[in-house]
Amino acid sequence: MRRTAAVCASGAVLAVLCGCTVQGSDGERHSPIRIELPDGTPSPKSAPPDDKPGATTRAPAPAVLWERGDTGRDIRELQARLRQIAWLFDGPTGTYDDLTEQAVEGFQGKRGLPRTGRTDEVTWQRLLKMTREPGKWDLYLMGGQPADPPDARCLTGRALCISKESRTLRWMVDGRTVLTVPVRFGSEYTPTREGVFSVYWKSRHHVSTLYDSPMPYAMFFSGGQAVHFSSDFAARGYAGASHGCVNVADERAIAEMFAQVRNGDKVVVHW
């Protein structure tokens, strides 16, 4: 009986492999059930739960270059470029402050970019295409530039050491720098004189009789030329010029200097 069953089973397998018909117990011939053997091709896997049909792959967010709180020369360039297209009116200061963040956000919104207030690669490239390379005095329009080394004539005694190259003033005593401030000079039509002078008159609340303009904390050193506070310099920076005087924008600093400088102290104006 077992032998008969084995033979039948063998015959069934052979029939399937050969694709022939088999005869049933009713005497009728029937097509066998076709069984396909594996051919080595894996069946397609069902899509992962996250990959739904029709879903699109999100592009990675652009890298953030600078954001609020960052400082440095790159921030000055960002601010200078934003000023060129009237999105920023203060600075450059070199600090990514709230005004810079608001300017970047406005620029982004105007151009259909995400309004994050952070400067990412896409925002920066768009800004580069719309602006020119800022010059040195665009970056330091409102001051903040480093001072160059003092002139040798400033290293002895008490001296206001004024550099036209770096646009800075060092108040020095016996070769030691007490205070450093950015300064502004006269235009090409009213240039600030160069050389070695001395303070001959101090006038705390001076008003120019020639130009009818305030000259607080004036320290005169050559004719009508003086070192003094300038509200115009404080407001416009290097976008303007003096009538030959040495302008200081930091009122607190020049008030401190005015209190220390004496008549007869040396004034050196150099390149």
Q: Is residue 205 annotated as a catalytic residue, yes or no?
A: no
Q: Is residue 245 annotated as a catalytic residue, yes or no?
A: yes
Q: Which of 161, 206, 228, 270 does the annotation list as catalytic?
A: 228
Note whether 156 and 149 are within 8 A (CB).
no
One-character DSSP codes across 32-54: PPP-PPP-SPPPPPPPPTT--TT
Distance between CA 181 and CA 170 in Å, rounded? 7
Burial (CB < 10 A; 0-12, 13-18, 19+), residue 107, is buried
Distance between CA 7 and CA 30 in Å, rounded? 19
Distance between CA 271 and CA 267 in Å, rounded? 13
- Buried b / exposed e over 191-217, threshold 16 CB at 10 Å, is ebeeeebbbeebeeebeeeeeeeebbb
Q: Which of 154, 161, 206, 245 does the annotation list as catalytic?
A: 245
Catalytic annotation, residues: 228, 245
